[in-house]
Structures are given as structure tokens and as C-alpha cells.
Chain A
Amino acid sequence: MQVFEDAALLSLIGGVLTLLVLASSVGWLLSRRVTSGPGRATVANINARIRAWWVMAVLFMIAIATGAAGSILLFCFISFLALREFVTLARTKPGDHRALFWSFFVVTPLQYYLVWIQWYGLFSILIPVWVSILLAIRTALAGDTESFLERTATNQWGLMICVYFLSYTPALLMLRIPGFANQNAKLMFFLVLVTQLSDVLQYVWGKSIGKRRIAPAISPNKTWEGLIGGVVCTTAIGAGLWWATPFAPGAAALMALMATIMGFAGGLIMSAIKRDRGVKDYGSLIEGHGGVLDRIDSLCFAAPVFFHLTRFFYAP
């Protein structure tokens, strides 16, 4: 397998495993130190999150190790689960049933199939052009006009976020970057690592010194201290990982900075939807984190921007 021949990829995997061992040790120490009071619930939640991180990281690395097929299948499945959480929260009506069926069982696999066959032209317009027209027609044919605009717009946006945006992550594999042939898995690794680390670091900074809330109406946990601390650290880490990317150190820092800020915005947008629907989490599949969509919201918004910037500057 290609993985074992690429020293940089092995270093990334080794780094993540080391980080997880470190996190588990800290979690274990915390659970021994904090045995009473309100801190206990926080520590229990942190340990649940770390356990879930192990599962997610191992799944992701297995996908990376099995090449394009594994990565595409994994993200297709994540899209499916995320869309399911999104649609469950949407105010759908029986008139949406057929359009939704198509979204889950035709559009989602088709989008990832296009990544597999590397048909960039159709990949980039399938959902924004073809599906947005065809599903609106299908819903109109069902004949229910009540909140028609709201329903079609919501379902379309669900597909955009959960399927279209997210599919840009494995789509990184189809970029042809001079001097970086057959190494695109590392680019995907870089993006996922940076967005997820940024989530963690924002959480850690926010929990430890967070005071000034950015948008109290949307999320009580997002603070300026958390954002700035997370962004600065992640940007530094991104710069330090330049050897795994086609970027120079400065460019790697800028890419990490951009992914971090988009990720933050994604989290904010997805929280706004949750607040509007009166729920705390999109689901309960991932212990300590909530639903799948709660975990990938930052990646969904960072991936398309990261892809197009890389494509514009590095893949002529």
C-alpha cells in the first residue's frame, strides 16, 4: 500500500496517535484529580469526547490507508448520516417524500461516484444546478403549496451542506498538483486535521479563559478568547505541517488560517439552525459530541474554500 511508502503520511498518522494517547492520559489524570462538584460532569464529557476521537481518528486513518475508494466511501456514509440529521430537523411535509428519497439514495451516492471517476465538471455543478432544478420540479409535482419555498430551499440547503460541501474533502484527491502526484491523501489529511484541531483548540481555550461571547444568541460557548487562541494555535500548527502539503510554510499557515475561520463560521451557521429549531445537538450518534453534523459542521464549510483556493493557486 502507498501509505507505508510515504514517510510524511506515516508521520501525520503517528502524530495523531501520539496526540490521542496524550489526550487520553490527560483525561485520565483529570478524572482522578476532579472527583466532585460541577467539574466532574465536564471531565466525564471530555473523556467521552476523547474516546469518540479515537474511534473517528481510527476510522479516518483506515479510510486514508485504503486509498481513494475507502475515503470516498467513508465521506459518502458521513454525508448520508449528516443529511439524515438535517432532514429530521427540517419541517418537511409528505409532499417532500419523493424528493427526499432521491436526495438520499440517488444524489448522495452519485455525487461521490463523480468524485471516484474524477469527473470534476459534473461534480461541481450536479447539486447546485441539476439537483436544485430537478428536485424543485419533483416537489412541485407533488402539488402541496404550503410553505413550498421554505421546504424546497431547506432541502436544497441540506444537500448543499451535508453532501455537496462535504464531498469537497475527498474531491481533493482529484486535484492534479505538479510535483505532488499521488500524494493528495496528505492534503485531505491536512484539511481534516486542521479543522478538527481548530475545533478542539477553540474549545480548550474557550473553556479555560473564555469570557467575551461572540454571539450569545447563537452559541454561549463561542468566545473571542477561544476563537483567537484556537486560530493562532491552529495556524501555527498548520505552518509547522507544511512538509505534508504542496504549500510553502507561509502559504500553509494562510491555508490553515482560512480553514480555521471558515470552520468557525460553519459552526456558527449550524448552531443558528439548531437554535432556530430548539435543539442542542443534531443527533446522539457520537458520544460527547452530539450528532455527526455537530462534528463535521466546520469541515463542511472549510472544505469547498480550501479546495478551490488550492485548485486556483496550485493546480493549473
Chain B
Amino acid sequence: MIATLLAAVSRLISGASVQWHCDPTSEVQRIYFGNHSSHLDFIVIWSALPPRQRRFTRPVAGRDYWERGAIRRYLASRVFHAVLIDRSHAGAEGAIAAARASIQHMAQEMGDRHSLIVFPEGTRSLTGEVGRFKSGLYHLSRLRPDAELIPVHLENLNRILPKGETLPVPMLSRVVFGSRVPTSLDEDKHEFLAKARAALIQLGAM
């Protein structure tokens, strides 16, 4: 009930018009990857999904943010069924191992019916432009080659709730779900990431 209500409120605030270039009701497991510019991003994607798909789609989110306070903890665990990960800071030795463990955790949490929502840039962009992708998406898709890779372009959310603001301004936004990005196991990391990022940017121009 709370989930349905929250989805409705989110659709109202984000005034999102939703476009699909793939089957919204497909039961195939998916990895939705979007551009990240606002705290609202994942909830907007999540609320744009059909109710049944929404129940089996879990956002990947930072543990540090979502475990602060009872309300966030409740929302993350009971409403969104978020997959919480420890955010690592690239560079240090231990961080690489931690990042690897996080990816493994995500792949596991997908089980045999769940889809994921991820933001491969890792952090919110200030300008609304799509930044460099971190390698997490690549490693995740190696572990779950069975899942469809779906780009989701979000428009205007950085204006509705920009980084650093807590109250939203209810402008209109757009969510475009692209068609699946074809992957093969023999492509290298840079090729893969460039292809995925290009697919996401191209959606924004459509």
C-alpha cells in the first residue's frame, strides 16, 4: 500500500511522461541503468514501472545514506527492497576488494526473479550531463549475462531536486526506457562501458 502511494506521489511531483522502447511487462530479469542527477532518480524509475514489475525491481543504493534514520531504513528495506552496498572510494587496495564484493552481492541479490536499478556513474551529476561510467556495470553484467541491460534516460530531475537541495520544485520530467543493449562475453571493459554510455546518451536525444 505504502509502495503504491509513494509511486503515485513520485509520479505527481516528477510529472514524468514515460516512454518505452522495450516491453514494460516483460518478466525477463533486467538491469536498468540510468543517468544520475538527483536523489529522486531511482524512485522515478521505480514508480514508472508497471506495478508487478515494480515489486520485483530493486534499486541499488548506498548503505551510508539509507541506513541513517528509521524512516529511510524502513523505506529501503520494506518498501523498495533496496540492495544496499558500501560505497567504496577507488584507489586504495581494500576498496577494490570491497567493490568486487559489492558487485557479487548485487548479482546474488537478483536471485532468479529480481531486476536491479543501478546508476553506473556512481555519483550525481551537477549539470545533468552523463558522466564517466565506473566499471561496476561491466562486472555486474559479466556475472549476470542472462539479465537484459536496459538504459533509462532521465531528463530534468536535476532541476526538480538538484544535488544539495532537500525540497523539490515540481517541474515536468521525462523517463525514457531504451531497448536492450546487446552484450557479448568477449568484449573488453572499455568497449562495453563506452557502448552502454553511448546508448544512454542517445536515448536522451530521442
**How does the 8 Å CB contact mask read for A69-93 relative to B, with 1 for contact and 0 for none?**
0000000000010001101100010
Q: How far is the CA of A236 from the CA of B17 in the complex (A)?
A: 41
Cβ of B203 under 8 Å from chain A: no
Cβ of A101 under 8 Å from chain B: yes
Q: How far is the CA of A88 from the CA of B159 in the complex (A)?
A: 9
**How does the 8 Å CB contact mask read for A174-196 relative to B, with 1 for contact and 0 for none?**
00000000000000000000000
Given contacts A92-B159, A284-B17, contact A87 B171 (CB under 8 A): yes
Q: How far is the CA of A87 from the CA of B170 in the complex (A)?
A: 9
B31-86 residues at the A interface, CB under 8 angstroms = none
Q: Are B169 and A87 in contact (CB under 8 A)?
A: yes
Q: Are A84 and B172 in contact (CB under 8 A)?
A: yes
Q: How far is the CA of A206 from the CA of B159 in the complex (A)?
A: 39
Q: Are A88 and B171 in contact (CB under 8 A)?
A: yes
Given contacts A85-B172, A88-B171, A104-B169, contact A97 B162 (CB under 8 A): yes
Residue in B126, B156, B169, B172 whose beta carbon sits within 8 Å of that of A97 in the complex: B169
Chain A residues with Cβ under 8 A from B17's Cβ?
Answer: 284
A222 to chain B, nearest CB (A): 26
Cβ of B165 under 8 Å from chain A: yes
Q: How far is the CA of A94 from the CA of B125 in the complex (A)?
A: 13
What bracket does the count of chain A residues touching chain B fall in?
A: 10 to 19
**How does the 8 Å CB contact mask read for A90-129 relative to B, with 1 for contact and 0 for none?**
0010100110110010000000000000000000000000
Main secondary structure of the interface of A (DSSP, over half): helix
Between A and B, how many residue pairs show CB distances below 8 Å?
Answer: 29
B160 to chain A, nearest CB (A): 9
Cβ of A230 under 8 Å from chain B: no
Q: Are B171 and A84 in contact (CB under 8 A)?
A: yes
Main secondary structure of the interface of B (DSSP, over half): loop
Q: Are B165 and A97 in contact (CB under 8 A)?
A: yes
A156 to chain B, nearest CB (A): 16
Q: Which residue of A lies closest to B159 (CB)?
A: A92
Q: Are B162 and A94 in contact (CB under 8 A)?
A: yes
Chain B residues with Cβ under 8 A from A97's Cβ?
Answer: 162, 165, 169
Cβ of A283 under 8 Å from chain B: yes
Q: Are A101 and B172 in contact (CB under 8 A)?
A: no
Q: Which residue of A lies closest to B158 (CB)?
A: A94
A284 to chain B, nearest CB (A): 6
Cβ of B122 under 8 Å from chain A: no
Chain B residues with Cβ under 8 A from A94's Cβ?
Answer: 126, 162, 164-165
Q: How far is the CA of A94 from the CA of B156 in the complex (A)?
A: 12
Chain A residues with Cβ under 8 A from B171's Cβ?
Answer: 84, 87-88
Cβ of B167 under 8 Å from chain A: yes
Chain B residues with Cβ under 8 A from A80's Cβ?
Answer: 170
A106 to chain B, nearest CB (A): 11
Cβ of B15 under 8 Å from chain A: yes
Q: Are B170 and A104 in contact (CB under 8 A)?
A: yes
Q: Which residue of B lies closest to A81 (CB)?
A: B15
- Known: A97-B165, A101-B169; 8 extra A-B contacts, CB below 8 A, are A84-B15, A84-B170, A87-B169, A88-B15, A94-B162, A100-B169, A101-B167, A283-B172
